Amino acid sequence: MSNQPALNIHALDTCWPNFSNAIEAFISRLGLSHLQLTCDHAALRVNDTDTASRLADEFATRGRIISNNIINGRPILIIKLNKPLMLGQQAVDCVELPFPGDKHYPQQGWEHVELVLPVAAVDCDALGHALTEQVPDIAQVLSGHTEINVKLSSPRGEHERLPNPTIAFKHRGLCVKIHAHSIETVIASEQGC
C-alpha cells in the first residue's frame, strides 16, 4: 500500500503554483524564455487506473475530452479546459492525462509541460537543428554535456498523420518538452483518417 496521499483535482490545484514556478525557472535556465513559445499543454503522471479514471471524471467537470487515443499501448486523454491553467502570463488550455503503463512514478501529479516551436521539422534531428539556430547555447545541452537529461522521441497516436518529433529536457524531477505542432493541431490531423 502506498503512503502517497490520494491524487485528486484539488491536490493538483494546490500543487500547480509551485510546479509552474519551477517550470518557468527551468525554461529560463534552458535559455528558452525569450522565444515566448506557446505552452499547449501540461501533463500528469499517475500510477494506477483507478486514479486516472477518477481524474478523468473530475477534469470532465472543467472541460471536455478532445482526444482519447492509444499511444505506446496505453490510453492518453487530452482535456481542453474551460478555464486555462496559467503558466506565468500564458494560458495553458489543455491537460494530458495518460493512463498508467509499465512504469511506476516515484511521485504522481504534474510531470511536464510541452512548448511549441513552430517549425516544419519531421524528425528530432530537424527539430534540434531548428532549436539550436534560435538558441545556440542549447547545443551543449543537446550534446549531453550538462546535468540536464535529453530524450528524443516521436510518439504517434493510432490515427495521427502529422509527425510531431519531441525533445524532452529533464532535470531534478522537472521536464520541459519541445515539439513542432500544438496538441490540438496533432489531434486535428487524426480527423483526416
Joined together, the cell numbers standing for residue 150 give 535529453
CA 116 to mean position of chain CA atoms: 10
Whole-prediction pTM? 0.89
User: How many CB atoms lie under 10 A from the CB of residue 29?
Assistant: 16
In tens, the pLDDT along 104-161 reads 888 899 999 999 999 988 899 999 999 999 999 999 999 988 999 999 987 655 555 6
Residue 114 phi, psi dihedral angles, 5° rounding? -120, 130
Q: What is the pLDDT of residues 23-67, one digit of tens each?
A: 999 999 999 999 989 999 999 999 999 999 999 999 999 999 999
- Cβ burial of 120 (10 Å; 0-12, 13-18, 19+) is exposed
CB of 112 closer than 8 Å to CB of 175: yes
Nearest to 95 by CA among 44, 49, 148: 44
